[in-house]
Amino acid sequence: MDNEAKKLLKTMLGVDAEFKDGQLEAIKSALSKNRALIVQKTGWGKSIVYFIATKIIRKQGQGPTILISPLISLMRNQIENAEKLGLKAFTINSANQEEWEDIKQKLLSDDCDILLLAPEKLGNTAIIKDIINSIPKGIGMFVVDEAHCISDWGHDFRPDYRRIIDFLNNLPPNVPVMATTATANERVIEDIANQLGENITILKGPLTRESLSIQVIKLNDQAERLAWLAANISKFPGSGIIYCLTVQDCEKVAKWLQLNNNSVNAYHSKLDSEIKKDIEIKFMNNEIKVIVATVALGMGYDKADINFVIHYQRPGSIVSYYQQIGRAGRKLDNAYAILLNGIEDDEIQEYFIKTAFPTQKEMNEVVSYVEQKTSVRKREILKSLNIKPSRLDNIVKFLEVENIITKNGPSYSRTLHQWRPDLEKSKKITEQRVAELKEMQEYTDVDTCYMKFISEKLDDPYAKDCNKCKNCLNKNIVSIDIKESEIIAATKFLKEEFLEINPRKQWPEGIKAEGKKGIRPEECNEIGKALCSYGDAGWGKIVKIDKYETEYFSDALVDASVELIKTWTFSEKPSWITYVPSLNRPTLVKSFAYRVANKLNLPCYDAIDKVQKTEQQKTMENSIMQCANAVKGFSINSNCQNGSVILIDDMVDSKWTLTVCGSLLKENGANLVYPYAIASTAGGRGEE
In the chain, % of residues over pLDDT 70 = 96
Same domain, 221 and 100: no
Please check whether residue 530 is in contact with residue 498, taking contact to mean a CB–CB distance below 8 angstroms: yes
Please check whether residue 220 is in contact with residue 342, taking contact to mean a CB–CB distance below 8 angstroms: yes
Q: Cβ–Cβ contacts within 10 Å for residue 48, how many?
A: 23
465 lies in which domain range? Answer: 212-349+436-483
The Cα 217–Cα 444 span in angstroms is 8
Q: Which of 47-51, 115-119, 124-128, 164-168 has the lowest mean pLDDT?
A: 124-128
Q: Which of 156-170, 281-295, 394-408, 600-614 has the lowest mean pLDDT?
A: 156-170
145 found inside a domain: yes
Q: What is the mean pLDDT of residues 661-674?
A: 97
pLDDT at 199 over 90: no
112 found inside a domain: yes
Same domain, 461 and 516: no
Terminal Cα-to-Cα distance of the chain (whole angstroms):
40
- 62 versus 83: the higher-pLDDT residue is 62
pLDDT tens string 54-79: 999 999 999 999 998 877 667 877 88
Nearest CA to 462 among 36, 39, 150? 39
Would you state the pLDDT for residue 401? 81
685 found inside a domain: no
Confidence of residue 542 (pLDDT cuts 50, 70, 90): very high
687 found inside a domain: no
Would you state the pLDDT for residue 687? 37
pLDDT at 95 over 80: no
Nearest CA to 144 among 118, 121, 123? 118
Residue 499's alpha-carbon distances to 493, 645, 676, 680, in angstroms, are: 12, 19, 10, 8
Please check whether residue 239 is in contact with residue 232, taking contact to mean a CB–CB distance below 8 angstroms: no
Q: Cβ–Cβ contacts within 10 Å for residue 647, how many?
A: 26
Confidence of residue 677 (pLDDT cuts 50, 70, 90): very high
The phi, psi pair for 672, rounded to 5°, reads: -90, 140
688 found inside a domain: no
Buried b (16+ CB within 10 A) or exposed e, 272-309: eeeebeebbeebbeeebbbbbbbbbbbbbbbbebbbbb
Same domain, 315 and 397: no
Q: What is the mean pLDDT of residues 629-658?
A: 96
The Cα 560–Cα 573 span in angstroms is 19
Would you state the pLDDT for residue 546? 95
Would you state the pLDDT for residue 391? 85
22 found inside a domain: yes
Confidence of residue 688 (pLDDT cuts 50, 70, 90): very low
Would you state the pLDDT for residue 164? 82
Cβ burial, residue 124 (10 Å; 0-12/13-18/19+): middle
431 found inside a domain: no
Would you state the pLDDT for residue 299? 62
Confidence of residue 686 (pLDDT cuts 50, 70, 90): very low
The Cα 356–Cα 350 span in angstroms is 10
Q: Cβ–Cβ contacts within 10 Å for residue 46, how many?
A: 26
Confidence of residue 170 (pLDDT cuts 50, 70, 90): confident
Same domain, 479 and 506: no
- Which 3 state secondary structure label does DSSP give 412? strand
The C-alpha angle with vertex 507 and arms to 503 and 509, in degrees rounded to 5, equals 155
- Which 3 state secondary structure label does DSSP give 552? coil
Please check whether residue 152 is in contact with residue 429, taking contact to mean a CB–CB distance below 8 angstroms: yes
Q: Which of 204, 234, 268 is the last residue of a domain?
A: 204
pLDDT tens string 266-314: 999 889 888 998 999 999 999 999 999 998 886 656 788 999 999 999 9
Q: Domain holding 506: CATH number?
A: 3.40.50.2020
The Cα 547–Cα 190 span in angstroms is 49
- Which 3 state secondary structure label does DSSP give 179? strand
pLDDT at 346 over 80: no
Q: What sign has the CA pseudo-torsion 388, 390, 396, 401?
A: negative
Number of domains within the chain: 4
Same domain, 409 and 514: no
pLDDT at 513 over 80: no
Same domain, 521 and 405: no
The phi, psi pair for 55, rounded to 5°, reads: -60, -45
Q: What is the pTM of this model?
A: 0.84
Q: Beta strands of 244-334 (E only): which ranges?
A: 264-267, 290-293, 306-311
Q: Domain holding 345: CATH number?
A: 3.40.50.300
Phi-psi region of 183 (alpha: psi -120 to 50; beta: other; left: phi over 0): beta
pLDDT at 97 over 50: yes
Would you state the pLDDT for residue 158? 67
Would you state the pLDDT for residue 402? 83
Tell me how long the chain is: 688
Would you state the pLDDT for residue 76? 77
Residue 29's alpha-carbon distances to 4, 134, 160, 189, in angstroms, are: 15, 27, 26, 18
The Cα 385–Cα 373 span in angstroms is 14
Q: Cβ–Cβ contacts within 10 Å for residue 86, how many?
A: 13
Would you state the pLDDT for residue 157? 59
Please check whether residue 630 is in contact with residue 659, taking contact to mean a CB–CB distance below 8 angstroms: yes
Q: Domain holding 401: CATH number?
A: 1.10.10.10
pLDDT tens string 468-501: 999 999 999 999 999 999 999 999 999 888 999 9
pLDDT tens string 555-577: 999 999 999 999 999 999 999 99
Same domain, 103 and 226: no
Within 8 A by CB and 6+ apart from 139, the residues are 63, 64, 65, 66, 132, 171, 175
493 found inside a domain: no
Same domain, 561 and 600: yes
Same domain, 343 and 361: no
pLDDT at 527 over 80: yes
The single-letter code of the amino acid at 208 is: T
Q: Which of 155, 177, 204 is the last residue of a domain?
A: 204
Q: Which of 90-99, 611-620, 648-657 has the lowest mean pLDDT?
A: 90-99
The Cα 112–Cα 135 span in angstroms is 10
The Cα 195–Cα 183 span in angstroms is 17
Same domain, 294 and 380: no
Q: Which of 183-197, 213-227, 432-446 has the lowest mean pLDDT?
A: 183-197
Same domain, 326 and 444: yes
Would you state the pLDDT for residue 72? 67
Question: Dihedral, CA atoms, 16, 22, 26, 32, nearest 10 degrees?
Answer: 100
pLDDT tens string 216-275: 999 988 999 999 999 999 999 999 999 998 888 999 999 999 999 999 999 998 898 889
Cβ burial, residue 55 (10 Å; 0-12/13-18/19+): buried
The C-alpha angle with vertex 388 and arms to 385 and 393, in degrees rounded to 5, equals 95
Same domain, 561 and 473: no
CA 632 to chain centre: 34
Q: Beta strands of 190-344 (E only): which ranges?
A: 200-204, 212-218, 239-243, 264-267, 290-293, 306-311, 335-341
Q: 116: number of CA atoms within 13 Å, CB side?
A: 26
